[in-house]
Structure 1
Amino acid sequence: MSPLYCQTFGHGETDLVLLHGWGLNTGVWHCIVERLTPHFRVHLIDLPGYGRSQQYGEMELEEMTSVVLNNTPESAVWLGWSMGGLVASKAALMAPERVQALISVASSPCFTERSDEGWPGIKTSVLNGFENQLSIDFQQTVVRFLALQTLGTPDARKDAKQLNQVILSCPMPRVEVLNSGLRMLAENDLRSELVDLQPPFLRIYGALDGLVPRKIIPQLDQLWPSSHSLMIDHAAHAPFISHPEIFCQEIIYFVNNL
């Protein structure tokens, strides 16, 4: 299988791997690359089946993580947004010696609601609805899903337009890839596995996020006391788009103080 599509920018001493979310591609990071490249060698990866890595089909989380590990530096800080946060977290569990630090952005170790446990998240019926709609009009379904990610932000319409432009900049993922990504969000629960995580761990959230609710923050603070959490006010599911300066400042500060 050919390598994943990857772009590398910058000449810093530390490698920083950025992993995008469901339905998107490396273009989502272009709004912050210039802020990060003076400090890091930034590696933008199109996840298997997404963007310009179209040669891959549907995958389970562990398989996708293995492919990404085979296409990244031997030692790096890993930052994953949304679904990419699941992949980055799994990489830190599978190969902790290769992950200098883990940063999850608007991500959750368990995306779906577990009402019997008091765990907030996306209702399974919502994810199933998106999966059903993909077979009818998959491009419009992806656009609709992305619109949820900017709701409530001061520049929601502009932020949503930016995400839509990222979609259109590359070939759309195949329906089976998108479906397997939704199943990945619905089925995985890394809460207990990450209790003993070895690398330093920073979790960044948007206060207005409708997909990863802020209610999980104190629960994970208690479950993972060695990790650090940060909530960005007035941000939703894509804080690096709505608040790029604050976002990058926090990344740089965290890595410089490892």
Structure 2
Amino acid sequence: MQPPQMPPDARAWHNAQRSGSKSRFHLENIPMTTHSSHNVYLIHGWAANSRIFDPLRPLLPAHWQVHAPDLPGHGTTPLEGAFDIAAAADQIAAQMPCNSDVLGWSLGGVVALFIAYRHPDKVRHLCLTASFAKFLATPAYPQGVSRSALDKMTALFEADFPKYMRQFLELQLLNTPDAGAVIDAVLPGLTAHGTPAALESALEALNGADARPFLPRVFQPALLVYGGKDGITPPRIGQYLQEHLPYAETVVIDKAAHTPFLSHPQEFAALLARFFG
């Protein structure tokens, strides 16, 4: 693993923009750039697969080369042994060209953080949506989710994966006018491979995952996107990331829930295009 270093973009924005005692960058100040070869990686969350991004992909800039890998034990990627977040990060990083941009959703955001820290040359910009530094709440980390809520969600997924995945999407798209069409577009791809092999193993890895110790060494500019109606990872869970990542900016989409890229795809795509360039 290479020692983390501050990338040029972060240095430039660090020097150009300061807010109080904490360095920040602002979306309106990010220069728009066009790259002939611009690699963007989309990393999905727990119990899903890369097909969750199907509605978003057509809205992204045409010059982007978009990659959406399946995490181990999800979609088409087999699970070999127990799910390991650091190993999953290393596996994806091995496929990535240097200076790629990375979007991580929920569990995928934790994987993205590990990639950015362990392989800093591979990541230019980092977007974390509905994600966290640590998932489970503890007395020292009240921002997290309770174990009982997590156990209940897991039991429902294990009992009838297709049924609960639909219910999950319906809940996340509750205020979305075309929710039915969005669900019909993504659900077949999400359930085509049955219950993910890593459903329990990835959850155990998530329970133990903790990116807090290395957050101050993640120097890539980070955009944090949350839904104001998210009951799984509410915006408060992103406050810790905002406070401990050196170069982070938070955007809250008020009426979105846990999947802002599905409920508000145009707004989300515009944020991503502006940030990644």
Q: Could you tell me the TM-score, scaled by structure 1's length?
A: 0.82
**Post-superposition offset of 1:113:** 2.1
**Residues 160 and 225 from structure 1, CA distance in 2 versus in 1: closer, same or farther, beyond 3 angstroms?**
same
Contact kept, 8 Å, 2:39 with 2:66, in 1: the verdict is: yes
Counterparts of 1:99-178 in structure 2, within 5 Å, are 99-114=123-138, 116-117=139-140, 119-133=142-156, 136-151=159-174, 159-168=182-191, 170-175=192-197, 177-178=198-199
Task: Provide Cα deviations, 1:214-246, integer angstroms capped at 9, x if missing partner.
Answer: 123434333335211111121111111111111
**Post-superposition offset of 1:193:** 1.2
**Post-superposition offset of 1:70:** 2.2
**Residues 231 and 174 from structure 1, CA distance in 2 versus in 1: closer, same or farther, beyond 3 angstroms?**
closer
- Residue 242 of structure 1 is aligned with which of 263, 266, 274? 263
Contact kept, 8 Å, 1:48 with 1:57, in 2: the verdict is: no
- What does residue 199 of structure 1 align with? 220
**Residues 131 and 208 from structure 1, CA distance in 2 versus in 1: closer, same or farther, beyond 3 angstroms?**
closer
Task: Provide Cα deviations, 1:152-205, integer angstroms capped at 9, x if missing partner.
Answer: 55665655555533323x312444x10012123222121231122121111111
What are the ranges of 5 or more consecutive residues in structure 2 without an aligned counterpart? 1-34
**Residues 23 and 147 from structure 1, CA distance in 2 versus in 1: closer, same or farther, beyond 3 angstroms?**
farther
Indicate the larger mover: 220-229 or 22-31. Answer: 220-229
**Residues 146 and 244 from structure 1, CA distance in 2 versus in 1: closer, same or farther, beyond 3 angstroms?**
closer
**Residues 32 and 191 from structure 1, CA distance in 2 versus in 1: closer, same or farther, beyond 3 angstroms?**
same
- Residue 117 of structure 2 is aligned with which of 93, 100, 106? 93
1:47 and 2:71 correspond: yes
1:38 and 2:59 correspond: no
1:220 and 2:244 correspond: no
Contact kept, 8 Å, 1:103 with 1:201, in 2: the verdict is: yes
Contact kept, 8 Å, 1:203 with 1:228, in 2: the verdict is: yes
**Post-superposition offset of 1:139:** 4.2
- Residue 77 of structure 1 is aligned with which of 101, 121, 128? 101
What is the letter of the counterpart of residue 188 of structure 2?
Q
What is the letter of the counterpart of residue 172 of structure 1?
G
Contact kept, 8 Å, 1:232 with 1:239, in 2: the verdict is: yes
What is the letter of the counterpart of residue 245 of structure 2?
W
Distance 2:45 2:245 in 1: 23
**Post-superposition offset of 1:47:** 1.4
- What does residue 4 of structure 1 align with? none
**Residues 210 and 166 from structure 1, CA distance in 2 versus in 1: closer, same or farther, beyond 3 angstroms?**
farther
- What does residue 3 of structure 1 align with? none
**Residues 179 and 55 from structure 1, CA distance in 2 versus in 1: closer, same or farther, beyond 3 angstroms?**
closer
What is the letter of the counterpart of residue 93 of structure 2?
L
Task: Provide Cα deviations, 1:11-51, integer angstroms capped at 9, x if missing partner.
Answer: 95311011111122221112121221424111111112211
Q: Which has the higher contact order (CA 8 A, sep 6+)?
A: 2
- Residue 40 of structure 2 is aligned with which of 4, 16, 26? 16
**Residues 33 and 163 from structure 1, CA distance in 2 versus in 1: closer, same or farther, beyond 3 angstroms?**
closer
- Say which SS state the counterpart of residue 226 (structure 2) adopts: strand
Distance 1:206 1:46 in 2: 24
Contact kept, 8 Å, 1:51 with 1:173, in 2: the verdict is: no
- What does residue 90 of structure 2 align with? 66
Contact kept, 8 Å, 1:24 with 1:51, in 2: the verdict is: yes
RMSD between aligned alpha carbons?
Answer: 2.5
- Say which SS state the counterpart of residue 27 (structure 1) adopts: helix
- Say which SS state the counterpart of residue 77 (structure 1) adopts: strand
What are the ranges of 5 or more consecutive residues in structure 1 without an aligned counterpart? 1-10
- What does residue 19 of structure 2 align with? none
Q: How many residues align?
A: 243
**Residues 179 and 73 from structure 1, CA distance in 2 versus in 1: closer, same or farther, beyond 3 angstroms?**
same
